[in-house]
Amino acid sequence: MTARPILIAGGGIGGLATALGLSLRGFRSIVLEKSSALGEIGAGIQLGPNAFHSFDYLGIGDAARRMAVYIDRLRLMDAIAGDEICSIPLDEPFRQRFGNPYAVVHRGELYRVFLDACRASPRVELRVSSTVTGYEQAGDSVSVKLASGERVEGQALIGADGLWSEVRRQVVGDGPPRVSGHTTYRSVIPTERMPEDLRWNAATLWAGPKCHVVHYPLSGWKSFNLVVTYHNDAPEPVAGKPVHEDEVMAGFRHTHPRVQEIIRHGSDWKLWVLCDRDPVQDWVDGRVALLGDAAHPMLQYFAQGACMAMEDAVCISHMAEKFEGDMPRAFEAYQRQRVLRATRVQLQSRAIGEHIYHPAGAHAALRNSIMRAKSPEQWFETLGWLYGGSGLTPQP
Ligand SMILES: Cc1cc2nc3c(=O)[nH]c(=O)nc-3n(C[C@H](O)[C@H](O)[C@H](O)COP(=O)(O)OP(=O)(O)OC[C@H]3O[C@@H](n4cnc5c(N)ncnc54)[C@H](O)[C@@H]3O)c2cc1C
């Protein structure tokens, strides 16, 4: 294998998973992260069984399994009536069907597993305060330009630099992301602050007109993750702005008292205005490829953005090995294998928001009727293409 490094723009979950996957296949990489410290926000993340296929491929299956909370159902509640619409069991039949569990984890804890594994690898170099501003290709090299003016050379570049990717600007050039108008507020509270009768071992979604609430336990049941979303046609992208509880509650005055009670227990709320992009088929420019949110940013309604980034990392590492370091060919094969699956998740994430998370009136009544009628086996069928897939399976 060649000794020249593969450059990775962005040290999020996607970037670190890629560095780790490449290192296990014998490739050196340099991760260029713009922040001055490596880390993740303190919220939760849901992991479908497909995430566990990636953990195993990346050699961190045991560590990831140790810090996960294994919820026993996905529960859908009516945020107006206050009752259950349906719940999908995640116990033994689910695990057998998909070969792995469904789990929830603290992002910081998951990120730490990746970081520790990368730091332990002599093939991964992590550089902070390194903002990538563009790249040039010549012959069999890629030269990346940093905001400091420094240039870093490698045999290839992977743009894992997220929603506002600089690498994508050059590869695709499709302008800024689409602002969805959906505002999300996040809080993590100690378990004792969660109302006792709502401490369910479930990822629970309360779906209401133009709004929803999600909660689930984290960190060995020490805390609960609260995610509250309001479709208020917010016009501007925002990320991580602290807000007062009154602002969070403003979109939920029409919901059931139990929903409002959950929100009242939150604290230190932070706000995001959600963005995504229309799918594109071209993620590759010669020795440069996009990955994770840089390639296919999606709304969070399928809880799959990070799962897809990890699948990308598995696929790109596999192709790098298969094509023996011929990175342009490896990137073309990666793109062929990944584009349709990622596109399906991107588009379905939008559709789920419209038809499951946020409908009102007759639209909501239709949702309830269809979803109540499904058996667990029918749910498994519906979700089979997603949870039964991995970064190594042909698409979609
Ligand atoms: C509210 C919410 C809930 C979610 N819930 C889930 C869930 O339950 N399950 C799930 O799988 N996914 C979930 N997601 C999606 C998931 O968070 C993202 O898809 C995932 O973090 C993408 O990882 P990434 O590494 O591709 O990008 P990012 O995490 O955005 O990482 C990009 C990195 O690149 C760095 N960077 C940016 N620009 C540059 C540059 N020019 N130069 C160098 N570095 C740069 C950034 O600082 C960052 O560290 C959720 C998202 C939201 C908003």
- pLDDT tens track for 158-192: 999 999 999 999 999 999 999 999 999 999 999 99
Contact 35 CB / ligand 1 (< 6 Å): yes
Q: Distance between CA 240 and CA 396 in Å, rounded? A: 33
Q: Is the CB of 359 under 6 A from ligand 1?
A: no
> Tell me, what's the pLDDT at 71?
96
13 alpha carbon – ligand 1 mean position (Å): 7
- Phi then psi for residue 383, to 5 deg, are -95, 0
Q: Is 382 helix (H, G, I), strand (E, B) or coil?
A: helix
- Report long-range pairs for 325-329 (Cβ below 8 Å, ≥24 apart): 325/1, 325/2, 325/27, 325/155, 327/6, 327/155, 327/156, 327/287, 328/284, 328/286, 328/287
CA 189, 239, 32, 343 torsion: positive or negative? positive
User: Strands, DSSP E only, in 250-386?
Assistant: 270-276, 284-285, 288-290
Which DSSP symbol is given to 130? -
Centroid of ligand 1 to alpha carbon of 358 (angstroms)? 24
Give the end-to-end CA distance of the chain in Å, rounded to a whole number.
31
CB atoms closer than 10 angstroms to residue 137: 15
pLDDT top residue among 361 and 40 = 361
53/51 Cα distance (integer angstroms): 5
Q: Give per-residue pLDDT as tens, 258-312.
A: 999 999 999 999 999 999 999 999 999 999 999 999 999 999 999 999 999 999 9
Largest CA distance in the chain: 64
pLDDT attached to residue 40: 86
| 196: Cβ contacts below 8 Å, ≥ 6 apart | none
Q: How confident is the model over 298-315, as pLDDT tens digits?
A: 999 999 999 999 999 999
Q: Is the pLDDT of residue 1 over 50?
A: no
Q: Which ligand 1 atom lies nearest to the CA of residue 9?
A: 43
Q: Confirm if 179 and 275 have CB atoms less than 8 A apart.
A: yes
Q: Quick check: 3 pLDDT over 90?
A: no
| Cβ-contact 225, 103 below 8 angstroms | no
Q: Which residues contact 319 (CB under 8 A, 6 or more apart)?
A: 330, 331, 333, 334, 337
Enter the tokens of residue 46.
Answer: 């849901």
pTM over 0.95? The answer is yes
With a cut of 80, say whether residue 374 has pLDDT above it.
yes
Looking up tokens 């995610």, which residue turns up?
227
- Pick the range with the lowest mean pLDDT from 42-46, 212-216, 269-273: 42-46
Q: Helix, strand or coil for residue 76? A: strand
Q: Which of 38, 45, 185, 228 to mutate to test the pocket of ligand 1 (most atoms within 8 A of CB)?
A: 45
The pLDDT of 201-213, averaged and rounded, is 97
Task: Give the Cβ contact number of residue 123 at 10 Å.
Answer: 19
Give, using CA atoms, the residue closest to atom 50 of ligand 1: 300
Q: What confidence tens digit (pLDDT) does each residue in 97-154 have?
A: 999 999 999 999 999 999 999 999 999 999 999 999 999 999 999 999 999 999 999 9
pLDDT at residue 394 in the model? 81
What are the pLDDT digits (tens) for 57-102? 999 999 999 999 999 999 999 999 999 999 999 999 999 999 999 9
Which value, in Å, is the radius of gyration of the alpha carbons in the chain?
Answer: 21
Mean pLDDT of 21-44: 95
Q: Which atom of ligand 1 is nearest to the CA of 46?
A: 8
* Residue 107 · residue 3 · CB < 8 Å: no
The C-alpha atoms of residue 19 and residue 27 are separated, in whole angstroms, by 9
Amino acid at 30: I
Backbone angles phi, psi at 220, to 5 degrees: 60, 35
One-letter amino acid for residue 83 of the chain: D
Check residue 41 and give its pLDDT: 82
Instruction: List the residue whose alpha carbon is closest to atom 39 of ligand 1.
Output: 161
What pLDDT does residue 45 have? 95
Averaged pLDDT, 203-207? 98
pLDDT over 80 at 228, yes or no: yes
Please state, rounded to an integer, the average pLDDT across all residues of the chain.
Answer: 96
Mean local confidence (pLDDT), 251-256: 93
Mean pLDDT for 233-240 is 94
Instruction: Report strand pairing: 151-154 vs 141-146.
Output: antiparallel
What's the CA gap between 70 and 203, in Å, rounded? Answer: 10
Q: Are 168 and 294 in contact (CB under 8 A)?
A: yes
How large a percentage of the chain has pLDDT more than 90? 96
- Cα 81 to middle of ligand 1, angstroms: 34
